[in-house]
């Protein structure tokens, strides 16, 4: 970005840089960069600042169906011609809750990919209200400030769904889970003071998309003590303006043994362009 050229003549030497380009030319260059780089370059001087705010720079960064997303996420009902495209981009990056606070959606500020969380409270879980099986634990480890902890159960069945106008592209679906012993202060029965049952038969994860895509994966759960984003699989969205419905589940219904010691936070769906984000959630 520091490329310069010099012109030598009898009157001396003059050095020129990108800041000497017309603002519209500079805006076309900035439009080729990622949003964080655009914002960093806006700090250089007034010319860069003005060029970095041009609608032409941010229009190409917004999802194809950004008008729908702005109405959904920003609760905006006015004319979009009155809003700067940069302001729309910034607004879409702010997380918004819906479905009685059990779902959260936002746009990743680094690449413009859509991300979504579905809390365990927005899922159908067998035995969730029976404290012999599950406990509900407040925690700052979850963006929803609460997790479901499985003490013991014979039949594990967790199901949920989401319907949303995802922008066209590739997406991944994850279960955010952890195997752990109950910590001090939790109201757990004495028979469940350890993680058990996950190495006998695999847990089954699956999802079905309204366009017919169906993914099934099975895995023995054996990594203890840390949160895992279990990657169930990927799916494609072809039409940004058509609602995509996804049904997902996690099951372990072999009744020959009990299972326990599982913490369930949420299901995470994200654009494949946001893979680096998995390290930060």
User: The domain that contains 195 carries what CATH number?
Assistant: 2.60.120.260
Residue 3: per-residue pLDDT: 46
Are 107 and 137 members of one domain? yes
Are 117 and 75 members of one domain? no
Last residue of a domain, one of 36, 71, 92: 92
Contact by Cβ (8 Å): 152, 160: no
Are 52 and 119 members of one domain? no
In a domain, 8, yes or no: no
Are 128 and 238 members of one domain? yes
In a domain, 6, yes or no: no
Are 171 and 50 members of one domain? no
Are 78 and 184 members of one domain? no
Residue 79: per-residue pLDDT: 73
Are 88 and 103 members of one domain? no
- Is the CA virtual torsion 53, 59, 60, 62 positive or negative? positive
Q: How many domains does the chain fold into?
A: 2
Are 57 and 86 members of one domain? yes
In three state form, how does the secondary structure of the chain look? CCCCEEEEECCEEEEECHHHCCHHHHHHHHCCCCHHHHHHHCCCCHHHHHHHCCHHHHHCCCCCCHHHHHHHHCCCCCCHHHCCHHHHHHHHCCCEEECCCCEEEEECCCCCCEEEEEEHHHCEECCCCCCCCEEEEECCCCCCCEEEEECCECCEEEEEEEEECCCCEEEEEEEEEEECCCCCCCCCCHHHCCCECCCCCCEEEEEEECCCCEEEEEECCCCECCCEEEEEEEEEECCCCCCEEEEEEEEECCCCCCEECEEEEEEEEEEHHHHHHHHCC
Spatial CA neighbour of 152 closest among 118, 169, 177, 127 = 127
Across the strands, what pairs with 215? 207
Residue 82: per-residue pLDDT: 82
Residue range(s) defining the domain that contains residue 61 = 16-92
Last residue of a domain, one of 56, 73, 92: 92
- pTM, two decimals, is 0.85
In a domain, 36, yes or no: yes
In a domain, 9, yes or no: no
Residue 53: per-residue pLDDT: 92
Are 45 and 86 members of one domain? yes
How do residues 26-47 score in pLDDT, each as one tens digit?
Answer: 889 999 999 999 999 989 889 8
> Which residue ranges of the chain lie beneath pLDDT 50?
1-12, 184-192
């Amino acid at each position: 970005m520091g490329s310069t050229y010099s012109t030598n003549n009898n009157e001396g030497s003059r050095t020129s840089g990108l800041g000497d380009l017309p603002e519209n030319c500079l805006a076309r260059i900035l439009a080729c960069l990622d949003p964080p780089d655009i914002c960093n370059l806006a700090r250089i001087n007034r010319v860069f600042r003005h060029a970095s705010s041009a609608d032409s720079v941010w229009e190409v960064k917004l999802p194809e169906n950004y008008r729908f997303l702005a109405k959904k996420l920003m609760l905006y009902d006015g004319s979009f011609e009155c809003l700067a495209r940069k302001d729309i981009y910034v607004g879409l990056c702010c997380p918004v809750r819906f479905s009685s606070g059990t779902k959260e959606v936002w746009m990743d500020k680094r690449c413009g990919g859509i991300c979504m969380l579905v809390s365990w409270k927005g899922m159908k879980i067998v035995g969730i209200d029976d404290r012999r099986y599950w406990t509900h634990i407040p925690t700052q480890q979850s963006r929803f400030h609460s997790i479901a902890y499985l003490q013991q159960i014979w039949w594990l069945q967790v199901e949920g769904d989401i319907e949303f106008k995802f922008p066209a592209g590739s997406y991944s679906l994850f279960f955010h889970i952890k195997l752990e012993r109950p910590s001090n202060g939790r109201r757990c029965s004495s028979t469940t003071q350890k993680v058990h049952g996950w190495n006998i038969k695999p847990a089954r994860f699956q999802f079905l998309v309204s366009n017919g895509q169906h993914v099934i994966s099975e895995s023995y759960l054996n990594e203890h003590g840390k949160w895992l984003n279990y990657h169930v699989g990927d799916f494609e969205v072809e039409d940004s303006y058509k609602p995509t419905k996804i049904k997902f589940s996690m099951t372990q219904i072999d009744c020959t043994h009990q299972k326990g010691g599982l913490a369930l936070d949420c299901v995470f769906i994200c654009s494949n362009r946001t893979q680096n984000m998995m390290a930060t959630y």
